[in-house]
Amino acid sequence: MIKKSIIFITSILILNSCNMNDYSELNEGIYASLETSKGDILLELFFKQTPLTVSNFVALSEGNHPAADEQFSGKPYYDGLKFHRVIDNFMIQGGGFDENMNDLESLKTIPNESGNGLSNLRGTIAMARTSEPHSANAQFFINTKDNRSLNPKSGRWGYAVFGTVIEGMEVVDKISKKPTGPKGRFTSDVPIETVLIMNISIE
C-alpha cells in the first residue's frame, strides 16, 4: 500500500513539475509558495535528493495524499495550521497544530531521507520528527541559522532537508522574532501572536 501511494504521488509530481508561469525567472523544478499570515515564502523543493519527502509534502499541501485519513481527504492539510514552535536563532516549526493547538497529526510516517548530502543551513526546510528516526509525517521546520548539528553523523540519523527558501527569508526571520510562551501541552516556545499557514501552493 505504501509503495503504491509513493508511485501515485510521484506521478502527480512529474505531471506538475512546473513550467513556472508565475515565476518565469526561475529554473524548471518544483516550488512551493507558502502563504502565511505574516507574508509569503517561496521554497524550492529538492525532489531528486528527497523524492519520498517532497512527494509527501506536495500531496499534503494539495490535499490529494492517498494515505491521508478521511478527515483530510480532498482538503489541503496545511491550510489553517500554525507555526506552533518558534526558537529565535534556531528555527520555526509548523504543520501539526491548528490555531487552538489541537494536534491534527494522524498520518502515516515516511522514511528518513537525511543521508542525501543536503545540510541544515540557514533557509533550508527539513522534516521535524521525534527521537525515532523514521517518525516524520507532516511537521516541518525552517532553519534560521546554520544548524549542522541536525545533520546525520556516523551511527546517527539526521533531520531530512528537502528544500530551501529562495524568496521571503525576511518573513521567516520576522516569525522567528515573535515573543513566545507556554500554550497547550507546550511549556514554552509557542508564539503568543498566532502565525498561520494560510495555504501552500505547488508551482
Residue 177 burial by Cβ neighbours in a 10 Å radius (0-12, 13-18, 19+): middle
- Decide: helix, strand or coil at residue 26: coil
The rounded distance, in Å, linking the Cα atoms of 7 and 189 is 38
pTM over 0.75: yes
Q: What is the pLDDT of residue 18?
A: 45
The residues pairing with 167 across neighbouring beta strands, listed in sequence order, are: 42
In the chain, the amino acid numbered 178 is K
Q: What is the pLDDT of residue 35?
A: 98
| 117, three cell numbers | 548530502
In the chain, the amino acid numbered 190 is V
Q: Which residues of the chain have pLDDT under 70?
A: 1-26, 67-72, 105-106
Contact 78, 98 (CB under 8 A): no
Domain interval for residue 103:
2-202
The rounded distance, in Å, linking the Cα atoms of 53 and 6 is 10
The rounded distance, in Å, linking the Cα atoms of 102 and 184 is 8
**Which residues are within 8 A (CB) of 61 and not within 5 positions of it... i.e. 6 or more apart?**
32, 76, 77, 78, 200, 201, 202
In the chain, the amino acid numbered 148 is R
Domain count, the chain: 1
Q: What is the pLDDT of residue 19?
A: 42
The CATH number that applies at residue 15 is 2.40.100.10
Contact 41, 7 (CB under 8 A): no
DSSP for 146-158 reads: --GGGS-BTTB--
- Decide: helix, strand or coil at residue 191: strand
